[in-house]
Structure 1
Amino acid sequence: MDGRDRRVWRAAPGTLAVVVVFMVVAAVPVPLLAYLIWADDRGWVTPALLAALSVVALAYAWRFGLHPRLRAEPDGVTVVNPFSVHRFAWDDLRVIAPGENGLVLATVEHRAEAWCVQKSNRSARKGRLTRADRVTAELFTLLEEHDPPLEDEETGLRIRRARPDESRVLTRLERAASEEALRHVFPPDRYPYPVAEVTRRWRRLLRDPQLRVVLLEKEGEPVGFVAFDETTVRHLGVVPDHTRRGYGTALLEFATTEVFDGGAVRAGLWVLEGNEAARAFYRAEGWTETSDRRPCEFPPAPVELRMERRNPAAPRRGR
């Protein structure tokens, strides 16, 4: 994106129309009324109050209606709100998502809401696509110009960031990756797959700047995923039709490399104790089981164990 491609978003057209009408009323009829009152009885108190009200109304309408904007430029995104300005470099952005109080942008350390682009809770609950979703998609497209997905044209594989509206996609992938393999742990007749809970969890994680969620696509179709933070691989899965092709290894290596590049001495993950296939996979990838145990969040709360892998570049302590 060069200077000519700079994008600016203000309040929605309907909102701007209301603001302009309000400003016209504040700028013409109210001062005219003040003048007529003054001309009628030469009193100055009421006209002065009306004039002051007109000025305040104009300032309020400009500051809260016309001034807020969201600006995308070659070096990043700027959020201009009534009383604050927030700047985000493209390389630092972790979250771009619609929100009731404004479009949410966040880095690991900083968060802001662009007041000029909002999505109501009602629209979110009903799954309606709104202007906020369109702006989010445009910003993600611009973001991918600065941080392009990893692509292999020969194999048709692509690793890219998950978008905030892909919670259902991630739920579908996770369900496909785990449901059949874990029937012995979660018998489906007694413990149906918790679709709603998992979808809510992904929706939350996709808006967590501390977490990165990545999708693996084959010929444009999502077939795997990995989610990780600065020290831990939180979720990993590949759909059954695409296992044993090295995709899980590629996703795990991608996440582990990012964790180690961030300076972590050790990377960790949790795996079900009863998931022997997954445990064997991680051991083959250089992970070591520890003595740490905890209950799984979903009924019947089977035991999870922690595995770790040491950063090969980290200095080792002397004996």
Structure 2
Amino acid sequence: MAGVLRAMTPADVPAVLAVQEPGAVLGLAEVFPQDEHPFPREAIAERGLREIELDGTECFVVLHHEAVAGFAATRDDEFLHFGVAPEHWGDGLARAAHDAVLDSMRASGVERARLRVFTGNVRGRCFYEKLGWTPTGERSRSSFPPRPELLTYELSLSSAGG
């Protein structure tokens, strides 16, 4: 984890939300128009607290100079949640955190990872595709209104960098 990640605690949830909300509002504006579907802060906080306590789910904070600058979560072979603060977009922090999460998954014995990303999240899809993730063709829907489509991606961890 090399200083980029550490385990998330319940006390981290407010700082994670402070990073996650502006990134979601900016990066997912086409997916969740804020005038109709504002960031569900309370629901995301509750989900984060549940996932921290859930067996088999690993929740992390992404650190930049010891401050919370992002978040990640995994469950078994699934890369559940991931994001960094908009001010770190393009500076390499997301790549370093992504690779650290994959290292954690590898250490847990995961050989093939999967994730879901919103079809309308062009920036996110480009990020993952640049790092070798490939779409499986599987589609699903988010539980959050307006229930946008999610695409499933996968990555062999035996061939992924880290």
TM-score, normalised with respect to structure 2: 0.91
Alignment partners' CA distance in 2, 1:192 and 1:232: 26
**Percentage of matched positions with identical amino acids:** 26
Distance (whole Å) between structure 1 residues aligned to residue 108 and residue 63 of structure 2: 25
For the pair 1:174 / 2:6, whether they are aligned, the reply is no
Higher-strand-fraction structure: 2
DSSP 3-state at the match of 2:59: strand
Cross-structure match for 2:2: 150
Task: State whether structure 2 residue 34 is matched by structure 1 residue 188.
Answer: yes
Partner residue in 1 for 2:158: 312
Residue 281 in structure 1 maps to residue 127 in structure 2: yes
Cα shift at 1:163: 1.3
Report what 1:207 is aligned to: 53
2:44 is aligned, of 198, 201, 206, to 198
How many angstroms apart in 2 are the aligned matches of 1:295 and 1:193? 17
Asked if 1:254 corresponds to 2:100, the answer is: yes
Compared CA separation, residues 159 and 263, structure 1 to 2 (3 A): closer
Letter in 2 for 1:259: M
Question: What is the one-letter code of the residue matched to 2:124?
Answer: A
Answer yes or no: is the 8 Å Cα contact 1:174–1:237 preserved in 2.
Answer: yes
Q: Contact 2:5 / 2:61 at 8 angstroms: preserved in 1?
A: yes
Partner residue in 2 for 1:292: 138
Whichever of the two has the greater Rg, that structure is 1
1:316 match: none
Compute the TM-score of the two structures, normalised by the length of structure 1.
0.48
| 1: CA distance, partners of 2:104 / 2:37 | 35
Aligned residue identity for 2:98: L
- Structure 1, residues 272-302: CA drift from partner, whole Å, max 9, x if none? 0011111111010010011110111111001
Task: Give 1:84-163 correspondences, 5 Å limit.
Answer: 150-151=2-3, 158-163=4-9
Any conservation in 1 of the 2:88–2:94 contact (CA below 8 Å)? no
Q: Would you say how many aligned residue pairs link Structure 1 and Structure 2?
A: 159
Q: Which structure 1 residue ranges, 5 or more long, are not aligned? A: 1-148, 152-157, 314-319
Q: Are the structure 2 counterparts of residues 308 and 204 from structure 1 closer, same or farther at C-alpha, using a change threshold of 3 Å?
A: same
> As a proportion of its length, which structure holds more helix?
1
Moved over 4 A (4+): none
Q: Find the counterpart in structure 2 of residue 232 from structure 1.
A: 78
Q: Could you tell me which residue of structure 2 aligns to residue 28 of structure 1?
A: none
Q: Distance in 1 between matches of 2:39 and 2:132?
A: 31
Task: Answer whether contact 2:24 2:39 (CA < 8 A) is retained.
Answer: no
Give the whole-Å Cα distance in 1 for the aligned partners of 2:66 and 2:105: 26
Query: Which AA in structure 2 matches 1:242?
Result: H
In structure 2, C-alpha distance between the alignment counterparts of 1:237 and 1:194, rounded to whole Å: 16
The CA deviation at 1:183 is 1.1
Q: Which has the higher contact order (CA 8 A, sep 6+)?
A: 2
* Cα distance per residue 1:131-179 (max 9 Å; x no partner): xxxxxxxxxxxxxxxxxx733xxxxxx4211112222222222212211
Residues 115 and 152 in structure 2, CA contact (< 8 A), matched pair in contact too: yes
